[in-house]
A and B are shown apart, each in its own frame.
Chain A
């Protein structure tokens, strides 16, 4: 079956531009997570959705970062006025159940964002 997909796979932005990154989770998955992976680091949590509700956005680094999942499926991570420190791989993951410790998260291939 289809896994988690993300688009675009690569994005180059000039500093100050706005970008939008898309995540298509596995069909029917309730939970959706965004992570940011800087070069040479492990992924770091950004935000968590359960269906369309954003239950935790504590990991978003600034108010320039905004995520939504309006219909409880596809999610978009938007970064306004991009800065060089936003350069990273943005990973999306989904899991079948609603925030249970036994869930397995399935990751997409990521979007590599480079801010010049």
Chain B
């Protein structure tokens, strides 16, 4: 079965510093992978997605992610974090069944300090 692991429950970074959120997946074939962000009281917003092709994917709000098959990873990065990036971040993999319903990780909570 497909699964996603986000090893870091909480991460704190200073505003302007770089960010990397880790995501590892377990999947039998070529996965399709997503990163979503959830701000308090808000729905999930798609940051970026990977299906195939170029392993470096650009998303919204200055985020990017790199698919590394050898490491079963899909880490999210941003060169310079803004205070408004503080939120919960979820990595997800699409299931082949269930209409490609998403299997989510438990999330990483990002705190940005001044």
Contacts and interface: CB of A to CB of B under 8 A. Distances in A.
B101 A101 contact: no
A104 B49 contact: yes
Contact of B90 (A31, A43, A50): A43
Interface residues of B, number: 27
A65 interface: no
Given A41-B107, A42-B107, A43-B104, A109 B99 contact: no
Interface stretch (B13-21, B38-46, B73-81): B38-46
A56 B43 CA distance: 23
B22 interface: no
B106 A101 contact: no
Contact of B99 (A56, A91, A110): A56
A108 B32 contact: no
Contacts of A110: 43
Interface string A31-65: 10101000011111100101000011011000000
The main secondary structure of chain B at its interface with chain A is mixed
The main secondary structure of chain A at its interface with chain B is loop
B100 A101 contact: yes
Contacts of B105: 42
B43 A108 contact: yes
Nearest to A5: B43
Interface string B43-83: 11110010100000000000000000000000000000000
26 contacts: A4-B43, A40-B107, A41-B106, A41-B107, A42-B107, A43-B90, A43-B104, A44-B104, A45-B98, A45-B102, A48-B98, A48-B99, A50-B99, A55-B98, A91-B43, A93-B44, A100-B100, A101-B94, A101-B96, A103-B100, A105-B102, A107-B43, A107-B45, A108-B43, A109-B43, A110-B43
